[in-house]
Amino acid sequence: MADLLDRREVRIRRMFDGIAGKYDFLNHLLSLNIDKRWRKTVTKLVPVQTGPLLDLCTGTGDLAFEYDRVTGGKIAIIGADFSPRMLERAVWKNAKAQSQSRIQFVEADAQHLPFADNTFEVATISFGLRNVTNPDLGLREMTRAVRSGGRVAVLEFSKPRHWLLGKMYTGYFKHVLPRIGQAFSKSDEQAYAYLPASVMEFPDGEALAEKMRAAGLTQVWFRPLTFGIATLYVGTKP
């Protein structure tokens, strides 16, 4: 289990580079397309007025694209990730979009962001914080990069509290998802076994909210989505 949960930068980058080609397909398949609804919820509950917006650990850019859609392409958006292959997919999707997009994709480590203090109105990270080697440092960097009054939004998997749903979810997550994911992705790094293992050991609920407060955010609140399978956390920079 220790090797499976190895979150060193080199391993995580290699893992996501390896599954980039199947990432979107498997995300939508394994979540039954619910992941799309979650991202729409983020844009509704954490709207952007003037921008710019930073989408950290953007992957293939789905949340960045959703923000671009709901703002009509009028907000400057930066999608940042440290996986070159994932960014290649994001850039390809951006190029084939029917409408002109204002999204800029850049390669960057969540723990050492190449952005000045107080730059962004909103910084988001979806299903990526638990993959950061030092998530506390990642939260501090997001807080640093957001301007006063701006918000940091974290969308992350969580553990359903209902006993029956919790058991069903755990069974699917631990036994069904890894087999389907591995069959399609052929991941050398066991990416779809890492996924449930990383979720089960990562703090959620009030524990993650407290980490956001420790990073310097105030007015922190969180909302479980789809019976607690995912949770949205939001904090404001003083």
Query: Helix 84-96 crosses helix 23-30 at what angle (to 10 degrees)?
Result: 80
Q: In angstroms, rounded to a whole number, what is the distance separating the alpha carbons of residues 138 and 144?
A: 10
Question: What string of DSSP letters covers 51-79?
Answer: --EEEET-TT-HHHHHHHHHTTT-S-EEE
Q: Assess if residue 21 is contained within a domain.
A: yes
* CATH assignment of the domain containing 40: 3.40.50.150
Identify the pLDDT of residue 2.
42
Identify the pLDDT of residue 185.
73
Q: Assess if residue 64 is contained within a domain.
A: yes
Q: Assess if residue 183 is contained within a domain.
A: no
From residue 132, how far is each of 5, 9, 137, 143, 238 by CA, in Å? 11, 8, 9, 15, 24
Q: In angstroms, rounded to a whole number, what is the distance separating the alpha carbons of residues 156 and 127?
A: 5
Asked whether 58 and 16 are in contact (CB, 8 A), the reply is no
Q: Which amino acid is at 141?
A: E
Q: Domain containing 144: what range?
A: 9-159+202-236
Asked whether 54 and 115 are in contact (CB, 8 A), the reply is yes
Q: Assess if residue 139 is contained within a domain.
A: yes
Helix (H, G, I), strand (E, B), or coil: what is residue 117? coil
Identify the pLDDT of residue 164.
76
pLDDT along the chain (238 residues), means of 10: 70 88 78 90 98 97 96 95 96 79 92 98 96 97 98 94 74 78 74 82 96 98 94 98
Domain count, the chain: 1
Q: Assess if residue 186 is contained within a domain.
A: no
Q: Assess if residue 170 is contained within a domain.
A: no
Q: Assess if residue 191 is contained within a domain.
A: no
> What pTM was estimated for this model as a whole?
0.91
Under 8 Å CB-to-CB from 64, ≥6 apart: which residues? 53, 55, 58, 77, 79, 90, 103, 105
Helix (H, G, I), strand (E, B), or coil: what is residue 122? strand
